[in-house]
Amino acid sequence: MVDQLPKPEVPRLITVANQKGGVGKTTSSVNLAAGLAMAGAKVLVIDLDPQGNASTALGAEHRAGTTSSYELLIGEATAEEAVQPSTASENLFCIPATIDLAGAEIELVSLVRREYRLYDALRGSGFLADNDFDYVLIDCPPSLGLLTINAMTAVDEVLIPIQCEYYALEGVGQLLNNISMIRQHLNTNLHISAILLTMYDARTKLSEQVATEVRAHFGDVVLGSIIPRSVKVSEAPGFGQTVLSYDPLSRGAGAYLEAVTEFATRGDFLPVESTGPIGVSPETAQRLAAESER
């Protein structure tokens, strides 16, 4: 049984992004969403990754031909037509991704308001206002193309998972620069509200060193909760489940529930205003970008 958490006063819209693959982005998206739903919030997950792994984990149909985020982006379907209930919780819903999404980057280039297609489908249409979602989480592909840009123009918050392994900060500088550019030119409300450390192995000195380095770079925006490397977390998607339903007593499930509680109770983390992507200092963004280019 999960304790009920206070609902946000206004809906929180969050993009879960990292251009580096294999960092626990989709796993974190679905488990945070499931945990929030179990704690009483009404949650929507939008899958923008053509692989559709988030859709699988949430038990959403995403075979070719299913109305999905692809049709939503190109204007062939409304959000109301694309949304499905998740098998993970009665409070959890999903707009799935199908393989059709793989070609969306090319198709979007020629469309009007190509950077705001998702914004228009969710906010402009009144869908979010009509459905009373407390949280919307968007799972992005591991790239910085038009799909990810659409995700970032549609939300206010970015959550970045960073794995506690070698090259953890590789490419993060470029991600921060992109967030800064989107914030400057497309969405002035965009900011980093949380960084989640994943794949932590307490048996190794490396994980501890990486966690320390990330906290030194990013400060209080990093969640105190850390997701351990866990077989159960890795196994759960293969059974079409989140780890919270696959093995609720596992270390991984417990860690995600701790992260959910921290993320929900501290609210939208807004540190002192900066010229960078709020949540990290401009100096950090520049330093990481320089390191990425070496």
- Residue pair 119/154 in contact by the 8 Å Cβ criterion: yes
Give the CATH number for residue 229.
3.40.50.300
Strand, coil or helix: 172: helix
The predicted-structure confidence for 201-258, as pLDDT tens digits, reads as follows: 888 898 999 899 999 989 999 999 999 998 998 888 878 899 999 999 999 999 999 9
Asked if residue 139 belongs to a domain, the reply is yes
Asked if residue 284 belongs to a domain, the reply is yes
Asked if residue 67 belongs to a domain, the reply is yes
Asked if residue 254 belongs to a domain, the reply is yes
pTM of this structure? 0.92
Asked if residue 4 belongs to a domain, the reply is no
The predicted-structure confidence for 71-129, as pLDDT tens digits, reads as follows: 999 999 999 999 999 998 999 999 999 999 988 989 999 999 999 999 999 998 999 98
Range of the domain at 260: 12-293
The predicted-structure confidence for 284-294, as pLDDT tens digits, reads as follows: 766 666 665 55
The rounded distance, in Å, linking the Cα atoms of 41 and 21 is 29
Centre a 10 Å sphere on the Cβ of residue 216 and count the other Cβ atoms it contains: 10
> Residue 284, exposed/middle/buried by CB under 10 A (0-12, 13-18, 19+)?
buried
DSSP 4: P
Most confident of 3-7, 14-18, 22-26: 14-18
Bridge partners, residue 109, by sequence: none
Mean pLDDT over all residues of the chain?
A: 90
The pLDDT value given to residue 166: 81
Question: Considering its fold, how many domains does the chain have in total?
Answer: 1
Residue among 247, 266, 280, 248 nearest 180 (CA)? 280
Q: For residue 16, what pLDDT band results from cuts at 50, 70 and 90?
A: very high
Strand-pair category, 92-95 with 84-85: antiparallel
Strand-pair category, 157-163 with 92-95: unpaired
- Residue pair 136/121 in contact by the 8 Å Cβ criterion: no
Lowest pLDDT segment from 32-36, 55-59, 126-130, 162-166:
162-166
How large is the angle between the packed helices 172-185 and 282-293, nearest 10 degrees?
Answer: 130
The rounded distance, in Å, linking the Cα atoms of 227 and 148 is 24
Asked if residue 1 belongs to a domain, the reply is no
Asked if residue 186 belongs to a domain, the reply is yes
Asked if residue 6 belongs to a domain, the reply is no
Q: For residue 276, what pLDDT band results from cuts at 50, 70 and 90?
A: low
The pLDDT value given to residue 271: 60
Share of the chain above pLDDT 70, in %: 92
